[in-house]
Structure 1
Amino acid sequence: MVSPRSLLDSNRFTCEVWLQGFPRNQNLSLHQRVHNLPFTVKTRSQNDMVPRKKYLCPEPTCVHHNHSHAIGDYGGLKKRYLF
């Protein structure tokens, strides 16, 4: 389950050089090119079957607090929680 604090945090990923925050890990990876730091792009092989991640709403009264109604992406959960 995701905590309300993490849903409201807009800068979860921080650059160690400039101490600048980014909402997504991909944004931080792209930013690291400015510093000429090594970065990697995650790739999956065809044999890797990773189960889809599901996010539960931290609000107990919400429909999406149940595993059978979990939301499939973090951004969607964040939008749902904020409205």
Structure 2
Amino acid sequence: MTDRALRSTAQRIEALRSEVKELEAELLALVRTVAPELLALQGVGPITAAQILISWSHPAASGPKQRLPPSQASLQSPPHQG
């Protein structure tokens, strides 16, 4: 690779890192609004918490009658599928 290609790649990496920081901050704000208790769980950051909310809020995940509000669903174990 030439110096120019390496410089260009480094610039793209830095731009993407900056974008990731911005998006993660947005996710953090959203999760704090909807289900802040998820962030209190050890090992759960904004990305994992957002994925939990998305997975548990989707009707196919547990069926319409079994769905819980995010604040309660986050504390339940996922349904056992056999």
The TM-score by the shorter chain falls in which range? under 0.3
Relative contact order (alpha carbons < 8 A, sep ≥ 6): 1 or 2 greater?
A: 1
TM-score by length of 2: 0.23
* Greater strand fraction, Structure 1 or Structure 2: 1
Larger Rg: 2
TM-score by length of 1: 0.23
